[in-house]
């Protein structure tokens, strides 16, 4: 009998990795993600399966917590076929190679210091190199199209549907026949909200004998998107009018493009004070270009910008800081800047040097526009830490800290339930990609509204289909 094992994103939100063992047929891995926050060190643990034995890797989308362990998978012997949307692979290339580059550079400079103090032995090299990341794109890659089934082997097919989460994101349905019975397993991937600034609403699936659904926000509904956008605009306008600067730690994919879209709309609506907007992240600049390349997969409101002036995201105040020297030049600006830089959770990247120069000044604002995992510097600031250590300096946190809740690339409870209601036949529901307390609330909501059996998937347990 076929079964699935989840090697993380089981009772957690990161490290997504699910292995489908068919009785006869290929071994199919769905996602192979990185760990973040408290679980980060798990990356050092070996895989719970032999990467050489995996035949096919299906990728739901290009977020690091779904693709970040693929270079490690390849390094340890995976040589099978990869299937994903073309946009996903374009984004994955940027994310994996850039993150490997950053890790290598950080390691080199840390090694230099460690050698001086004689502590180089305690230093851990990056988990994968730039070459390891590049090797992923030498694999046999097959590009999927939404709503067109791919025959993997006779009797086993896979379909990708738009999950509305980020560009290229997909819900994956695997259909197979076993002992004369046809079965359908669906992995929701990360699902988007029905109302998103850039992405269309998620597409529906008709049938699932087993639905593996994400439950990140299964316990609640997001606040109204318009309220969120209004709060964001107000914080920007107030800071700029008070001669301050706005720092926005942002994720390279999706959130950055949403922020740019809002700023562009503010510009054309004459709501944005005269300012300089710096997109100070090579990764986000490249991702923004990829979003533009696949504009046909974005929603009507994003495409409206294209009709306005021939660009989705560009507007006259926006400058791209690709090189390090461009990033450093921003430090000379006294006031009137909006700086969008990574990393989204302030665990590294250029946002840190902007913090060093601007956190102490009460005229400035830090706008958090994304979830900050426990244990990250971003989360500490939201929780009210008075000073942080940066580049061996103690920096006081005097800038105003705003956590703008409500931006989310994830479906909330109402979105998830409404999506599930569209199934014509839905049997068992399995919860993944969520924290246990939230999953308990979501379980109750599903049972009350849909009356399906629900199971919270545990790490490595075998679920027979």
**Interface with Zn ion (CB under 5 A):** 63, 190
Q: In the numeric block, which tokens belong to residue 66?
A: 């779904």
Shortest CB 267 distance to Zn ion, Å: 29
Q: How far apart are CA 347 and CA 345, in angstroms?
A: 6
Shortest CB 163 distance to Zn ion, Å: 9
Shortest CB 419 distance to Zn ion, Å: 16
Shortest CB 428 distance to Zn ion, Å: 24
**Of 33 and 378, which has the nearer Cβ to Zn ion?**
33
Per-residue DSSP letters for 53-108?
Answer: G--EEE-S---HHHHTTHHHHHHTT--SEEEEEHHHHHHHHHHHHHHHHHHHHHHH
**Of 255 and 357, which has the nearer Cβ to Zn ion?**
255
Q: Which residues pair with 337 in a beta bridge?
A: 276
Shortest CB 206 distance to Zn ion, Å: 24
Shortest CB 171 distance to Zn ion, Å: 12
**Of 63 and 286, which has the nearer Cβ to Zn ion?**
63
Contact 164, 205 (CB under 8 A): no
Shortest CB 357 distance to Zn ion, Å: 31
Residues 6+ apart with CB under 8 A from 284: 250, 252, 253, 256, 340, 342
Per-residue DSSP letters for 300-324?
Answer: HHHHHHHHHHS-SS--TTEEE--SH
**Of 13 and 260, which has the nearer Cβ to Zn ion?**
13
Shortest CB 377 distance to Zn ion, Å: 21
**Of 63 and 222, which has the nearer Cβ to Zn ion?**
63
**Of 63 and 264, which has the nearer Cβ to Zn ion?**
63
Q: How far apart are CA 249 and CA 368, in angstroms?
A: 6
Residues 6+ apart with CB under 8 A from 230: none
**Of 266 and 369, which has the nearer Cβ to Zn ion?**
369
φ/ψ of 333, rounded to 5, equals: -75, 125
**Of 63 and 161, which has the nearer Cβ to Zn ion?**
63
Q: How far apart are CA 459 and CA 10, in angstroms?
A: 5
Strand pairing of 81-85 and 140-144? parallel
Residues 6+ apart with CB under 8 A from 406: 222, 223, 224, 225, 227, 228, 231
**Of 92 and 247, which has the nearer Cβ to Zn ion?**
92
**Of 190 and 196, which has the nearer Cβ to Zn ion?**
190
Tell me how long the chain is: 465
Q: How far apart are CA 225 and CA 263, in angstroms?
A: 15
Q: Is the dihedral of CA 249, 251, 252, 258 positive or negative?
A: negative
Shortest CB 61 distance to Zn ion, Å: 6
Q: How far apart are CA 212 and CA 18, in angstroms?
A: 10
Instruction: Provide the terminal-to-terminal Cα distance of the chain, rounded to the nearest Å.
Output: 7
Closest to 92 in 3D by CA, of 280, 287, 256, 255: 287
Q: How far apart are CA 258 and CA 117, in angstroms?
A: 44
Shortest CB 80 distance to Zn ion, Å: 23
Contact 376, 347 (CB under 8 A): yes
**Of 63 and 69, which has the nearer Cβ to Zn ion?**
63
Strand pairing of 276-280 and 318-320? parallel
Given the structure tokens 């907007």, which residue do they identify? 277
**Of 11 and 190, which has the nearer Cβ to Zn ion?**
190
Shortest CB 254 distance to Zn ion, Å: 8
Shortest CB 112 distance to Zn ion, Å: 35
């Amino acid at each position: 009998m076929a079964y699935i094992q989840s090697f993380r994103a089981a009772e957690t939100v990161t490290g997504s990795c699910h292995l489908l063992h068919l009785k006869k047929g290929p071994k199919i891995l769905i996602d192979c993600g990185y760990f973040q926050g408290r679980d980060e060190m798990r990356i050092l643990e070996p895989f719970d399966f032999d990467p050489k034995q995996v035949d096919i890797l299906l990728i739901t989308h290009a977020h690091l917590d779904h693709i970040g362990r693929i270079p490690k998978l390849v390094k340890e012997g995976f040589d099978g076929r990869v299937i994903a949307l073309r946009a996903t692979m374009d984004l994955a290339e940027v994310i994996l190679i850039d993150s490997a580059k950053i890790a290598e550079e950080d390691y080199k400079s840390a090694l230099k210091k460690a050698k001086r103090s004689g502590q180089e032995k305690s230093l851990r090299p990056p988990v994968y190199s730039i070459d390891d990341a590049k090797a992923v794109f030498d694999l046999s890659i097959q590009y999927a199209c939404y709503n067109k089934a791919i025959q993997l082997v006779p009797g086993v097919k896979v379909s990708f549907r738009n999950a509305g989460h980020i560009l290229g994101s997909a819900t994956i349905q695997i259909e197979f026949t076993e002992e004369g019975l046809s079965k359908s397993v669906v992995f929701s991937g990360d699902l988007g909200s029905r109302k998103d600034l850039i992405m269309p609403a998620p597409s529906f699936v008709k049938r699932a004998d087993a639905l593996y659904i994400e439950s990140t926000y299964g316990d609640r509904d997001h606040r109204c998107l318009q309220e969120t956008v209004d709060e964001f605009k107000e914080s920007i306008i107030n800071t700029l009018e008070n001669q301050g600067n706005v720092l926005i730690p942002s994720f390279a994919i999706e959130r950055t493009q949403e922020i740019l879209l809002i700023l562009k709309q503010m510009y054309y609506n004459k709501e944005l004070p005269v300012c300089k907007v710096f997109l100070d992240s090579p990764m986000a600049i490249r991702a923004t270009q990829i979003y533009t390349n696949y504009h046909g997969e974005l929603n009507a409101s994003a495409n409206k910008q294209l009709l306005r002036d021939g660009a989705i995201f560009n507007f006259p105040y926006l400058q791209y800081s690709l090189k390090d020297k461009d990033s450093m030049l921003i430090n000379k600006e006294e006031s009137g800047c909006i700086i969008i830089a990574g990393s989204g959770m302030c665990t590294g990247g250029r946002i840190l040097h902007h913090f060093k120069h601007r956190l102490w000044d009460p005229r400035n604002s830090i706008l958090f526009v994304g979830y900050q995992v426990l244990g990250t510097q971003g989360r500490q600031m939201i929780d009210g830490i008075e000073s942080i250590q940066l580049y061996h300096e103690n920096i006081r946190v005097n800038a105003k800290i705003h956590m703008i809740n409500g931006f989310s690339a994830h479906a909330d409870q109402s979105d998830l339930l409404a999506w599930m209601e569209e199934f014509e036949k839905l049997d068992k529901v399995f919860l993944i990609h969520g924290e246990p307390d939230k999953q308990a609330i979501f379980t109750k909501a599903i049972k009350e509204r849909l009356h399906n059996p629900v199971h919270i998937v545990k790490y490595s347990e075998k679920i027979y289909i």
